[in-house]
Structure 1
């Protein structure tokens, strides 16, 4: 097992994704000093609008990330760009130097790469359309893999406002096929309000 600093965020980052987080400079320096070489961090999911009761109550499937870039955001903050590498399981949380949360984690089985089947090409096309209409949200077109089913499903899981426990259940599936089926139904047949 390995140990890395944990960031608990409502902006979810999954393998193959890229996201920039604004963090206090002092926190950034503390995290980086405990992130190893090359620096790697864990991003844990937090429900939008809810504070965790205790840091040890995070959802266990988190994303191991490497630092893709960093820049000064303002006088006291840094813009930290992370790229997701793989999903791992956090076994325990402790406090490191300067109260940085450290997660001890173990590997999880990773999805086997597979081409997007014709029945789910709709998901790829819809995702590409969404990013084209929101270019500020997708700075890494060179990393796009619209023909790879797992990558497409992970991007949808980052974007969709699904409860964290539902995302965790989907990430624990043995392949992206079940996830694609869920997302496909959600997008094609959204829940309707009976009122």
Structure 2
């Protein structure tokens, strides 16, 4: 596998493959970075801010595409990002304009698999979550409620838990531990 340099966009949020998030870009450096990504100078990676550590973010990030953008009334830019490929951040350096660039290595994404049996409850609960949160639902042109990996990743993006705990689940080889975790969480609130 070959390493690749990517621009880092960091937030206190999680974005995983096939997920979507809307972010606001304000400062000129980040606006320039967006322009450079559109020009194909480098790829973009979305990473979760890390309060302490040798890197400014957690070492697991997601390469993403900018799939939509709008200029807002205050001249900031609203971007809709879609996760493509999980990556490991090997190193990161801050440029003069305060932007971060990272040397990354691709990681294996979770494989698509059918959601079955009692885990269908997780899919139904996610569908209800989107009904209550239409702003999140509107980001998607298609939802894949039949795919265990897709459903698991969407739950990890929205669950109110510490990012470091989410990343323990993200770094598993498949979605099974996340399915178990979310199912137990839902059952504990139903009982």
Mark yes or no: TM-score above 0.5: yes
Post-superposition Cα deviations, 1:39-87, rounded to whole Å, max 9, x if no partner, equal: 631111136xxxx346724211111100101110123311111111121
CA distance in 2, matches of 1:80, 1:55: 28
Task: Note the residue ranges of structure 2 that are not aligned, 5 or more in a row.
Answer: none
1:142: how far off?
2.4
Aligned equivalent of 2:44: 41
Aligned residue runs from structure 1 range 126-165, under 5 A: 126-165=125-164
Q: 1:164 to 1:173 in 2, by over 3 A?
A: same
The answer on whether the counterparts of 2:5 and 2:42 sit within 8 Å (CA) in structure 1 is no
Q: Secondary structure at the match of 2:103?
A: strand
Residue in structure 1 matching 2:14, options 12, 15, 20:
12
Aligned equivalent of 1:111: 110
Q: Secondary structure at the match of 1:124?
A: helix
What TM-score results when the alignment is normalised by the length of structure 2? 0.88
CA distance in 2, matches of 1:18, 1:38: 23
The answer on whether the counterparts of 2:48 and 2:57 sit within 8 Å (CA) in structure 1 is yes
The answer on whether the counterparts of 1:39 and 1:67 sit within 8 Å (CA) in structure 2 is no
Q: 1:38 to 1:112 in 2, by over 3 A?
A: farther
Task: Note the residue ranges of structure 1 that are not aligned, 5 or more in a row.
Answer: 191-195
Range 97-106 or range 143-152, more displaced: 97-106
Question: Size of the alignment, in residue pairs?
Answer: 186
The answer on whether the counterparts of 1:30 and 1:98 sit within 8 Å (CA) in structure 2 is no
Aligned equivalent of 2:73: 74
What TM-score results when the alignment is normalised by the length of structure 1? 0.87
1:27: how far off?
2.9
Is 1:180 the equivalent of 2:179? yes
Q: Secondary structure at the match of 2:85?
A: strand
CA distance in 1, matches of 2:161, 2:172: 16
Aligned equivalent of 1:95: 94
Q: Secondary structure at the match of 1:60?
A: strand
Q: Secondary structure at the match of 2:58?
A: coil
Aligned equivalent of 1:28: 30
